[in-house]
Every structure is written in structure tokens, then in C-alpha cells.
Amino acid sequence: MPVETTASFPNPAQDYFEGHLSLDRHLIARPTSTFVLRVSGDALASMGIRDGDELLVDRALDPAPGRVLVVVVEAERRLGRFDVVDGQAVLATDLEQIPLTAEVEPWGVATVLLHHLPLGPAGDRQRRHAAR
């Protein structure tokens, strides 16, 4: 039988510790199909999605009403909420409603918003350093 010989206080959590919290595992269900996109502009500011934010986008998920989608419209990636207006599926932003026709190609479904909070000048410098 193993005998505890250390004189120091035994860590009561050692049998329960299962590793540090992993944000990757917490936020990304499928790494293979998940991409990180940078938001450019404030098309969905009403949902708290702001210029410069990062979005996790899972391409394995299918578009469905209520989901925030990334689609390709006229060769450009666009962000919007899947809404149904008068029976017509649209991509709704704060500025416009784009009908979801056959010409609009689904790119992925946004699952997580990463929004960095202001830390003041010193903190922002630290963050820039860490991101490089």
C-alpha cells in the first residue's frame, strides 16, 4: 500500500484536478470546422458585435433562423442574423436586410463573440504585446 511520506500539507484537490481550464475546449466544439474571423464594421452593433471583435465561426453548423451567419454576397463575407420577414428568409443587419437567395452562399455560423474590454493605455499595451 502506498504511504504518504511528505511532511507538507497534502493538496486536498490532487485527486480531483483534471487539468487547467482550456478555453479552446470550452469554446470550440469542432476545431476542424471552426475558424476565427475579425469583424470589420458595426453591422450588428445592436447585438454587441463591434468593429475589431473576433468571432468563432463553425462551418459544420447549418443556417437556421435566429443564428448569426457569415455568408458570401457578391464575393464578400458578410455578417448578419438569420431572420424570417413575411415568410422570406433574410440576413438582417442594423443597416439592411439581404434576401437569402440562391446567390448567397452560406460560409458558417457564428458561435462565440470575443470582445476585448478596454484596460486603459498600460493594459492595452500589454495586450498588444501578448497578441503578437
Partner 1 sequence: MTRCQWGTQNPAPPIALVDVRSMFVSVERVLDPTLVGRACIVLSNNDGCAVARSDEAKALGVQMGDPWFQLREKPHLLDLVAKSSNYEEYGAFSSRFHETVATISAHTETYSVDEAFVGLPRADPAATAGDLQARVRQWTGLPTAAGIGPTKTLAKVAQRHAKGTGQPLVDMTTWTHEEVGDLLAATPVSEVWGIGARLTAGLAGLGIHTAADLARADAGVLRRRWSVVLERTARELAGVPCMPVGFTPKDRQQLMYSRMLGATVSSPSEMRGVLTQYAAAAARRLRSHSLETALMQVWLSSSRFRDDVAHHSASVAFDPPTSDPLRLIAASHAVLTKMRPNWPYNRAGILLTGLSRAGASPQLWPGETASRLRLADTVDEISARYGRDAIGWGPTGLRGSRRWDMRRDRLSPAGTTRWNELLTVR
Rounded to the nearest whole angstrom, what is the least distance from the CB of residue 40 to partner 1 in the complex?
4
Closest C-alpha among 114, 106, 97, 101 to residue 61:
106
User: Do residues 81 and 47 lie in contact, with contact meaning Cβ atoms separated by under 8 Å?
Assistant: yes
Rounded to the nearest whole angstrom, what is the least distance from the CB of residue 27 to partner 1 in the complex?
15
Nearer to partner 1, 89 or 98 (CB): 98
Residues in Cβ contact with 55 at an 8 Å cutoff, skipping those fewer than 6 apart: 36, 37, 38, 39, 49, 68, 70, 79, 110, 112, 113, 114
Nearer to partner 1, 77 or 83 (CB): 77
Helix (H) or strand (E) holding 91, with range, is strand 88-92
Nearer to partner 1, 40 or 46 (CB): 40
Residue 38 as a binder of partner 1 (CB under 8 A): the answer is yes
Binder among 29, 54, 98, 113 for partner 1 (CB under 8 A): 54
Nearer to partner 1, 70 or 92 (CB): 70
Closest C-alpha among 57, 61, 60, 94 to residue 77:
57
Q: Which residues bind partner 1 (CB under 8 A)?
A: 30-33, 35-41, 43, 54-55, 57, 59-60, 70, 72, 75-79, 107, 131-132
